[in-house]
Amino acid sequence: METPLTVRDVTYERLAKTIDHSLLRPELTLAEVREGCELAARYDVASVCVRPADVVLAAEPLRGTAVAVGTVVGFPHGAHRTETKVFEAERAMVDGATELDMVINIGWLRSGEDDRVREDIGAVVDAAAGHALVKVILENAYLSDDEKLRGSRLVEAAGADYVKTSTGFAPGGATIEDLLLMRGAVSERVRVKAAGGVRTLDALLEVISVGVDRIGATQTAAILDDYRARTAA
């Protein structure tokens, strides 16, 4: 495993543009979502990831910034019909989303229905083509290592942009072991997103060191404020 990066090895911009600021908790008020989007703009992160009904709300405070609007598809269980996932993706893009985090059909993967899993992902990829990035959530807490490997390879075969560890709503989140496994399972074309448990600057530096390109974070301000404090002259 690579030696973890230190704050001296990375710029603020690189760190910030690794973060998808997560606003997915079901109890968030509209005011809290708006405040979260304003925070994301202040810290100039990669994106916000909001609930589907909040995409229009998020698009307004982020208009004119370099922060993308993202949302979720088939969330959090992945067992929606493929047609429903496609509709969710299409509606989200109409509303202003340019990044889509979709959940695979976990039960299909565990049942060995690999063709169906690939086709489910591929339908969303086709709907998003040229309009939005597609990040595919495996939900590793429920999978064996073999299933994680197969799932990662199916994500690449379907043409998606990212393979992602978790929704953040399952019993476990991202682990270094899983991130290494996923990074090794796909080509450099496919990027890796860690979600669930990356709550500190040191944890973020560690996952970047093993090949992660994005994280889902709720502790965005704490992470980036810590970076600024450690690098202050």
Give the separation between CA 131 and CA 66, rounded to whole angstroms.
16
The torsion of the CA quartet 150, 151, 157, 158, rounded to 10 degrees, works out to: 160
- Choosing from 120, 178, 193, 213, the catalytic residue is 193
The torsion of the CA quartet 66, 19, 192, 212, rounded to 10 degrees, works out to: 120
- Choosing from 85, 135, 148, 164, the catalytic residue is 164
Structural element, H or E, at residue 173: none
193 in active site: yes
And the tokens for 92?
A: 């989200």
Instruction: Name the burial class of residue 83, with classes exposed (0-12), middle (13-18) and buried (19+) by CB atoms within 10 angstroms of its CB.
Output: exposed
- Choosing from 101, 161, 178, 213, the catalytic residue is 101
85 in active site: no
Beta-strand ranges (E) seen in the chain are: 19-23, 47-50, 68-73, 99-103, 133-137, 162-164, 191-195, 214-217
17 in active site: no
DSSP 188: T
Residue 179 · residue 165 · CB < 8 Å: yes
Residue 200 · residue 226 · CB < 8 Å: yes
Residue 183 · residue 210 · CB < 8 Å: yes
Positions annotated as catalytic residues are 101, 164, 193
